[in-house]
Amino acid sequence: MSTSPLEPMVRTLSYRAVLDGDDREAILSLPCTVKMVERLHYLVRERDRATQTCVMLSGYSVRSKLVGDGSRQIVAIHMKGDTVDLHNSLLGIADHSVQTLVSSKVGMIPRDEIVRIAEKRPQVGRAMWLETLADASLTREWVANIGRRDARSRLAHLFCEFAVRMKVAGLADENQFELPMTQEQLADATGLTSVHVNRTIRVMESEGLIRRLGRRAVAYDDWRKLAEVGDFDTNYLHLNTSEPALAWKG
């Protein structure tokens, strides 16, 4: 059972509520089809009727929405352990697409099984509910980021968020992180154009805010400075797991 592919899901949900052995066992025993998918593969398309919930087991994916003029907006980035598609699968018709950024391993779980485990194992249901609430908090921060910060702050904020989430997921070192996105994808995530992302990143680099390690990784020497420029505060990530978990126990 410790070799179940759904280990990352247990780890992520454990951040949200106290799960006992039976809870964990129930998650690990969920029927799950594991697939390797290539880069830029669509896991869900807007308007699809989703019947499966998708869990990231390795790699990265983005949720995005198409806009009338043909452009797109990325609304979230997912990494190992994230339950990507609870929203679409429970609400019926997908309001957004999900696409991998790199070749990734994903687990597909039938929607009904999710509903069932949420009922049978209340703590698991709570953890999933809290996970969706934390996800909503993250989206709200994105609204503020895109609506009220300039290009430099937006990118700095996105980098800070990435750095912290990667560290929490055990995927990043102390002073650097993988950034599996092209500049065009960064533009779609920040509400900018790829040209302006390029210029802004170069300015940030020349200021010593960040260093680029190859094409798909970023390093920072002064976290405080980066966080200040990005107006970054971890509160919205709701990482202080002990609080809600305790509250939900009674």
Partner DNA sequence: CGTAGGCTTGAAAAGCGTCAATAGGAGTGG
Partner DNA sequence: CCACTCCTATTGACGCTTTTCAAGCCTACG
By CB under 8 A, name the one of 3, 69, 206, 224 that touches its own copies. 69
58 within 8 A of 80, measured Cβ to Cβ? yes
Phi and psi (nearest 5°) for 191?
75, 30
Residue 195 interacts with DNA (CB under 7 A)?
yes
Pick the piece of the chain touching its own copies (CB under 8 A) from 2-10, 64-72, 194-202, 209-217: 64-72
Token pair listed for 127: 């953890």
Separation between Cα atoms, residue 181 and residue 97, nearest integer Å: 17
Site string for DNA, 150-189 (x = CB under 7 A): xxx-----------------------------xxx-----
The distance of closest approach from Cβ of residue 184 to its own copies in the complex, given in angstroms and rounded to an integer, is: 13
Q: How far is the CB of 47 from its own copies (least distance, A)?
A: 7
**Residue 202 interaction partner, one of its own copies, DNA, none, beta carbon < 5-8 Å per kind:** DNA
Binding of its own copies by 148 (CB under 8 A): yes
CB 164 within 8 A of CB 237: yes
CB neighbour burial string for 44-56, b if at least 16 within 10 angstroms, e if fewer: bebebebebbbbb
Taking contact as CB under 7 A, which single stretch among the options 44-52, 134-142, 162-170, 197-205 is the one that binds DNA? 197-205
SS3 186: helix
**53 scored as a contact of its own copies (CB under 8 A):** no
Strand-strand pairing, 42-44 and 97-100: antiparallel
Q: Does 145 bind DNA (CB under 7 A)?
A: no
Should residue 103 be labelled a site residue for DNA when binding is judged by CB under 7 A? no
Among residues 98 and 166, whose Cβ is nearest to its own copies? Answer: 98
Half-sphere exposure of 249 (CA within 13 A, CB side): 9
Cβ-count burial 132-144 (b if 16+ within 10 Å, e if not): eebbeebeebbee
Task: Tell me the closest approach of the beta carbon of residue 231 to DNA, in angstroms.
Answer: 13
Question: Which residue's CB is nearer to DNA, number 97 or number 200?
Answer: 200
- Residue 71: CB atoms within 10 A of its CB come to 12
| By the rule CB under 8 A, 125 interacts with its own copies | yes
Sign of CA dihedral 168, 172, 177, 178: negative
Task: State the Cα–Cα distance between residues 195 and 87, nearest whole angstrom.
Answer: 32
Using rule CB under 8 A, residue 133 touches its own copies: yes
- Which C-beta is closer to DNA: that of 1 or that of 67? 67
The residues that touch its own copies, with contacts defined as CB under 8 A, are 47, 63, 65, 67-69, 71-73, 75-76, 86-87, 90-93, 95-96, 111-112, 115, 119, 122, 125, 129-130, 132-137, 139-144, 146-149, 153, 190-191, 231, 235-236, 238, 240, 243-244, 247-248, 250
